[in-house]
A and B are shown apart, each in its own frame.
Chain A
Amino acid sequence: MLYALDLSLDSEEGFASVKAGLTSPLAKFVIWALLSALLYHLVAGVRHLIMDSGIGETLEGGKLGSKIVIAVSLVVIVLAGVWIW
């Protein structure tokens, strides 16, 4: 990812080659996989912050919260896929 950032900021040609590289189906799939993991981590992390503030700390709340995390993550991961393709 850092290499892509480096290349894309280095020169016009570098930017074009990153852009071209990201059009292949394999590259798109890899980006989607990385993005999916990061999005899930983000959503689960936000849940942690919410639980830190004392919301959803009961057994029922925890179970509900984990289901919400899965559901929200699925939605944003699908949206990310739609955006990439």
Chain B
Amino acid sequence: MVTNVTNLSRSGLYDWMAQRVSAVVLAAYFIFLIGYLVAHPGLEYATWHALFSHNAMRIFSLLALVALAAHTWVGMWTIATDYLTPMALGKSATVVRFLFQAVCGIAMFAYFVWGVQILWGI
């Protein structure tokens, strides 16, 4: 089975670390955003726009976007290599798994580019 070649870093230990570091970044970003929305019930466009125009927020958002891409890749890779196996799918498993991973990769890349456009387009 060709599975190791498709993981994020070629090293399980590094993937493990990347998953956890990105998880902490995403948790911080998510909790910050939810906290912000809870603290601003009648949110206006100007306030919302000002938040995302702030350079610190752009850096934080971009960091979260990178973390999301890495976290998603490690997670989907784990699911794909756990379940899309020859034991479950027979001979075509490698092709199916590779296609699945390609779709995940393209989707994440598209989300990343789109996210950058949103952050720097305003």
Q: Which residues of A contact B (CB under 8 A)?
A: 2, 5-6, 8-12, 15-16, 19, 38, 42, 45-46, 48-49, 52, 83
Could you tell me if B20 and A9 are in contact, using CB atoms closer than 8 angstroms? no
Q: Does B91 contact A (CB under 8 A)?
A: no
- Determine the residue in chain A with the shortest Cβ distance to B75: A41
Cβ contacts under 8 Å, A6 to chain B: 114, 118
Interchain CB contact under 8 A, B30 and A9: no
- Partner-contacting stretch, out of B2-10, B45-53, B82-90: B45-53
B111 touches A49 (CB 8 A): no
CA distance in complex: A16, B20 (Å): 37
Which residue of chain B has its CB nearest to the CB of A15? B45
Where chain A touches its partner, the secondary structure class is: helix
Chain B residues with Cβ below 8 Å from A45 are 23, 27
Is B122 in contact with chain A by the CB < 8 A criterion? yes
- CB-CB < 8 A to B115: which residues of A? 2
Question: What is the minimal beta-carbon distance from A51 to any residue of chain B, in angstroms?
Answer: 11
What's the A-B contact tally at a CB cutoff of 8 Å? 35
The bracket for how many chain B residues form the interface is 10 to 19
Q: Which B residues are closer than 8 A to A by beta carbons?
A: 20, 23-24, 27, 30, 38, 43, 45, 48-49, 52, 111, 114-115, 118, 122
Task: Please indicate the chain A residues that have their CB under 8 angstroms from the CB of B52 in the complex.
Answer: 9
Residues on A with C-beta less than 8 A from B30 are: 38, 42
B48 touching A49 by the CB < 8 A rule? no
A57 to B121, CA, bound (A): 47
Chain A residue nearest to B16 in the complex (CB)? A52
CA distance A58 to B108 in the complex (A): 36
Q: How far is the CA of A45 from the CA of B108 in the complex (A)?
A: 21
* Residues of A contacting B20 in the complex (Cβ-Cβ under 8 angstroms): 48-49, 52
